[in-house]
Chain A
């Protein structure tokens, strides 16, 4: 499946890149390479772009660009699977 198909809270692993030229280079340079596990953190108020997080990087990308990244879903929101330093549980003041 593609990164653009994921929903907020989904966790996934990058399996390949379909994007071409400039966008592809940019995605590579931002660290989204094969094997990286990330979580979809939120979508922008108007529904696009989306924000994902991996290894301390908070990355935003348009769904257009996200459609150039092949992923495999590894988890969903609330399944409690820990992912590095991820923020699966929000608690204020804790």
Chain B
């Protein structure tokens, strides 16, 4: 096929305007997801071939406005300036036209090639709203196409308009929004001053002038570099005094009020409500869901459902994956003659890949749940219901769900913090998630509490550990928000969108996107880290130990006649050698090196080794202890491991409690750290977090150990 001519189209619009549905309806399966450069905001791109053109569509983040205050808005306007799309389609929610037109007026100010998609037009008709589209076109100075992304109506007409505008076949007289005279003349004056700087040529100068009047940080910093700034500053001061004198207001507020005045006028001229609006279904649902008595229980129930869907449903799939990788390892093993190669491939690579994939079921299930909540409109209500508690600790209502998810697994939880708009809120939430005791830490508690406490006490101990995690997490958030993350939090000024039934497709696309992002971005680091830890706990090899083992086995073969006894003796000898080998490895040496530091917590070098290998995954703490106490393969239910710990002179209740506290609070597994790095974007913050977690873990373990020694 010959090359198609390309048209670059960008979709802009408010959150909940049906922009993403329109994007999906237009581009179908021709989509890919990336990130806007420098930020963790997802960028959906796709294309559609239409009438000899390849129309490339970018779905910009949903925004109400184009200021410099939120990363979404900055990304949107920077894209419009830097990438200069041929046509910008502004998707407006038909039934809620008035609220959506604010963004339209700002796109008009940018003088982009604008086309308005009057979306959800089916609902407009159903609600008895009349919109005079022709007149509205005249007022906005751009073409308007009624569409319904859900019912796939008006899409052909929209694409026709795109092509005809691109070809210059239909023209429309652009309209300029007039501000009050003082602001208008200041805009003109500043625009003329800006024209003296040729370097600013790529910007729309009138738009820059308006942004300067709006006191926009970004544009301010841009223009301030130029000599003409001196004159502009004078002009700005002048208009500020003028608006203050005439309107008792400043240019920023004046401009916004004038935009709303224009919108109000347009609404009066073009929109008629034919019959009285009925109570919507949303009103009735909210009467129950946001009820003062029922609101909180309903919220907790929803969280409970999401949690169970993710982890109760996910765990069997994880076990199944685990077994699958075990099978693969077993069937590959005999094919490899060389011991070292087999060990690298089976225990290193296959186990490492397994370690990455094992988290996929949780991630996919959680994001199916979260996308459903988000698209249905409940997410905003959840934040509304729970914000008061979270705000007390310096967090946002939207931090709650990621935090709770942390009890299952930190990885999807950290990824779920993307709903938080402010970076400082997001960082604080990410950093406390690992304090929420994840599922992989449970085996450690089960082993230790089971070995040292009666069942009734053991349950209380475990409950105490979980509570300690929550308390440490919340207070850590409070401390961080008061110190290193002091910058402005996201204000809680949030629209509650009407409830909508989400399309299955968009929910699944979201989940798929997250899964791919995890595999692509975090997968490689996790794999490397798991391999590294595997190397640490296997190398260097002590050849003498192997030789000694062979000699021992030979002796056993000769001296013991009973087959069963012989086998037991050989296994025992192997376990001892494995323990010595681990002691000889880098991890073993690290454990010994650590001993002076962890001695005050009641730990000897063997626990040190388990803590080091536990960085691969928390449940590895248990299996490492099995190896190092010469028991071979063990898990938290092994009676031998429990007995041996109980009889070990260096191990008592106080040590057990102290170790549980340490495992709860210290650095999470490498997979979680990798995801953290990917979401935060810089190693420095991750390092600060690591140092903080280690310090907190040490202090709390120390206190626990000393107190337990005093009291028990």
Q: Is A48 an interface residue (CB 8 A)?
A: yes
Known: A22-B69, A87-B283. A55 touches B99 (CB 8 A): yes
8 closest residue pairs by CB, A with B: A45-B295, A29-B65, A46-B388, A58-B496, A85-B277, A23-B491, A62-B492, A28-B256
What residues of A have a CB within 8 angstroms of the CB of B495 in the complex? 30, 57-60
What residues of A have a CB within 8 angstroms of the CB of B257 in the complex? 33-34
B494 and A61 form a contact (CB under 8 A): yes
Residue ID in chain B nearest A30 by CB atoms: B493
Which A24-51 residues have C-beta < 8 A from chain B?
24-31, 33-34, 42-49, 51
Complex: A29 Cα to B491 Cα, angstroms: 12
Total contacts A to B, CB within 8 angstroms? 117
Which B82-118 residues have C-beta < 8 A from chain A?
95-96, 98-99, 102
Partner of A60, one of B67, B95, B287, B380: B380
What residues of A have a CB within 8 angstroms of the CB of B386 in the complex? 46
Known: A21-B488, A58-B495. A44 touches B65 (CB 8 A): no
A-B contacts, 6 listed (Cβ < 8 Å) = A17-B253, A25-B252, A42-B290, A45-B292, A51-B496, A85-B273
A30 and B64 form a contact (CB under 8 A): yes
A61 and B493 form a contact (CB under 8 A): yes
Q: How large is the interface on B (under 10, 10 to 19, 20 to 34, 35 or more residues)?
A: 35 or more
B452-488 vs A, Cβ < 8 Å mask (1 yes, 0 no): 0000000000000000000000000000000000001
Residue ID in chain A nearest B279 by CB atoms: A87
Known: A23-B493, A55-B99, A62-B492. A44 touches B284 (CB 8 A): no
What residues of A have a CB within 8 angstroms of the CB of B384 in the complex? 44, 49, 51, 60
Residue ID in chain B nearest A62 by CB atoms: B492
A62 and B296 form a contact (CB under 8 A): no
What residues of B have a CB within 8 angstroms of the CB of A49 in the complex? 384, 387-388, 492
Complex: A29 Cα to B421 Cα, angstroms: 16
Complex: A28 Cα to B380 Cα, angstroms: 20
CB B21 to nearest CB in A, in angstroms, measures 20
Q: Is A56 an interface residue (CB 8 A)?
A: yes
Complex: A66 Cα to B64 Cα, angstroms: 19
Residue ID in chain A nearest B494 by CB atoms: A60
Residue ID in chain B nearest A56 by CB atoms: B96
A44 and B494 form a contact (CB under 8 A): no
A60-94 vs B, Cβ < 8 Å mask (1 yes, 0 no): 11101100000000000000000001010010101
Q: Is B651 an interface residue (CB 8 A)?
A: no
Known: A42-B290, A45-B293, A49-B384. A33 touches B496 (CB 8 A): no
Partner of B69, one of A26, A55, A61, A94: A26
What residues of A have a CB within 8 angstroms of the CB of B286 in the complex? 58
What residues of A have a CB within 8 angstroms of the CB of B260 in the complex? 31, 33
Known: A45-B385, A48-B387. A33 touches B293 (CB 8 A): no
What residues of B have a CB within 8 angstroms of the CB of A31 in the complex? 98-99, 102, 260
Which B472-520 residues have C-beta < 8 A from chain A?
488, 491-496
CB A2 to nearest CB in B, in angstroms, measures 15
A45 and B99 form a contact (CB under 8 A): no
